[in-house]
Structure 1
Amino acid sequence: MEILTSAAGLQAYTENIRCNGQRLGLVPTMGALHEGHLQLVRAARESCDTVVATIFVNPTQFNNADDFRLYPRLPEADAGLLAAAGCTALFLPAVEEIYPQPTVLKFDFGALEQVMEGAHRPGHFNGVATVVSKLFHLSRPHRAYFGQKDWQQVAIVRQLVADLSFDLEIVAYPTIREADGLAMSSRNRRLTPEERAIAPQLYQVLQAAARRIRQGMLPAQVEAQALAELQQQPLFNTEYFAVADAHTLQPLAGYTPGRAVVLCLATHLGAVRLIDNVVVEL
């Protein structure tokens, strides 16, 4: 596996891939890799000739300086995992390589970013869109692979691709979970043993809410019940629990047959902020 550290090096590498008529898959990550990331690499390997993974802890998408500072960074271990999963090249740039000068670009995704993560993390999706745009421009992939744990992020990236006419396909893969249901996340490494034992309750609350939706309980009641269950665990400091249209991400007053619903939550468990979601097909 080749390791690239410069933007120019990535451009040259991927341009050569395209000139040779090969299909290129891109897997953007912030590192501290887990099985969810590796699933994306293997999926890209199956449908593309070349797979480029990126590891870049993007400072412009963090609202909390401590969260950025404490985000796990394990480049050597990550490189070994990527190589074993069949990754062809790793782009591992310094911050100065991605942002040679401060960025002033501002994205506006309208209603898509005015709810959930966008409402609670102002500027977060502007940072996501900025770095993703840079990676797409530099690598010009045929396909880019993302995990559905960040459901709203995938929606934002799809909108970005449509609005800016990027010539690529966004491929989203289901959330990979631990045996006890906890969604795999790089941030899980920061949980204490006590917190890690409690964390699977998030998925249990989501599953219970999904059952209530299938039984016909109205969205507002589902949200209230889920929030009440989360509040029963004193170590959870919950930011939101939302019942939303799976495509528009807007709150629902009721349901439409054939229209999927997404249940999304965000909570702090100790010093770690966790998100998760479940999709309900109606």
Structure 2
Amino acid sequence: MRIIESVSEMQQQADMWRGEGKRIALVPTMGYLHAGHLTLMQKARTHADIVVMSVFVNPTQFGPGEDFERYPRDFENDIRLATEVGVDAAFSPEAAEMYPEGYQTYVDVTRVTLPLCGKSRPGHFRGVTTVVNKLFNIVKPHVAMFGEKDFQQLVTIRRMVKDLNMDVEVLGHPIVRESDGLALSSRNVYLTSEQRQEALRLSQSLREAQTLIQSGERRSDIILKRVREILKAGKDMRIDYAELRHPETLEEVSRIDGPTLLALAVFLGTTRLIDNCVLNIPQ
């Protein structure tokens, strides 16, 4: 695998691949790879000739007091894992390479970033859209892969691509889970064994919501009441949000009349976890 650290070298290599008629796929990551990331990379291979992963812990998407400094990092292991699944190149710049002295330009997507994580993490999505825009300009992919665990992020990036007429196809991939249902996340490493067990309440509450839908319940307040009961029963668990939203506009939903996003965020101790599913009315 080729490791590229400079913007200009990555752009030149991308131009070379494109000149050879090769299709490029990008999988953006902040490193500390797990099976979810690797699944995205394997899926990207089915859409492209060249797979590039970025490894960049982006400082602009972390707020004051968040875990930027302690965010888990293991670059050598990331390279080993990505090589095993056939990734062709890793773009891994330093922060000063991405945000040089005097940097002052940002991308701001508005309405879809206001609720959910946007409400509890002001400025987060401005950092996400800015760095993804930069990665698109640097890696020049034909297609980019994102996991659906960060559902609001996926909606936001698709909105940015559409609004700014970007020539890149944005693909989402279903959440990858442990055998017991816990959504894979690099932040799971922060959890104690007891917290790890309590974290299963997220996937449990998602399943309970779908069960209510299948039994005929359509009222959002009833579904959310049950979801919150499950989460609140967790030891050392604090709900950030549990909301029902339209899966494209992220507008609040008061009654389930079609596919509806159930989005969750909780704190277990100091660790913030998110999870979601799209609830579907049975045919």
Tell me if both proteins adopt one fold, taking TM over 0.5 as the criterion: yes
AA matched with 1:250: E
What's 1:242 paired with?
243
The match for 1:117 is: 117
Give the structure 2 partner of residue 5 of structure 1. 5
Equivalent residue number for residue 222 of structure 1: 223
How far apart are residue 191 of structure 1 and its match? 0.9
Contact 2:265 2:275 in 1 (8 A): yes
Partners of 2:6 and 2:108 in 1: CA distance: 29
Superposition pairs of residues 125-204 of structure 1, within 5 angstroms: 125-204=125-204
Q: Which residue in 2 is equivalent to 1:277?
A: 276
- Distance in 2 (CA, whole Å) between partners of 1:166 and 1:70 is 33
Is this contact kept in 1: 2:246–2:260, CA < 8 A? yes
Q: What is the SS of the residue equivalent to 2:178?
A: coil
Which letter maps to 2:274? I
Aligned residues: 280
1:67 alignment partner in structure 2 = 67
Moved more, 79-88 or 230-239: 230-239
Instruction: Indicate the percent of aligned positions where both proteins have the same amino acid.
Output: 40
Per residue, is there more helix in 1 or in 2?
1
Residue deviations 1:88-124 (CA, integer Å, cap 9, x gap): 0001111001111354334443321111011111000
TM-score w.r.t. structure 2 length?
0.96
Q: How far apart, in 1, do the equivalents of 2:280 and 2:117 lie?
A: 22
- How large is the RMSD of aligned CA atoms in angstroms? 1.2
Instruction: Extract unaligned runs of 5+ from structure 2.
Output: none
Letter paired with 1:272: T
1:126-180 deviations in Å (ceiling 9; x for gaps): 0000000000011110000000000000000001111111101001100000011
Structure 2 residue matching 1:68: 3-state secondary structure: coil
Query: Matches of 1:210 and 1:45 in 2, distance apart?
Result: 32
Contact 2:213 2:280 (C-alpha < 8 Å) held by counterparts: no
What SS is found at the alignment partner of 2:180?
A: coil
Tell me which residue corresponds to 1:261. 260
Q: Secondary structure at the match of 1:47?
A: coil
Instruction: Check whether the contact 1:111–1:250 (CA below 8 A) recurs between aligned residues.
Output: no
TM-score w.r.t. the length of structure 1 is 0.96
Assess, with a 3 A threshold, how the Cα gap between structure 1 residues 192 and 58 changes in structure 2: closer, same or farther.
same
Deviations 1:163-212 (A, max 9, x none): 11110100110000001100000000111111112211210011101222
Secondary structure in structure 2 of the residue aligned to 1:73: coil
Alpha-carbon contact 2:28-2:53 (below 8 Å) kept: yes
Code of the residue aligned with 2:11 in structure 1: it is Q
**Which aligned segments of 4 or more residues in structure 1 are displaced greater than 3 angstroms?**
102-108
1:57: Cα distance to partner?
0.4
Q: 1:129 to 1:102 in 2, by over 3 A?
A: farther
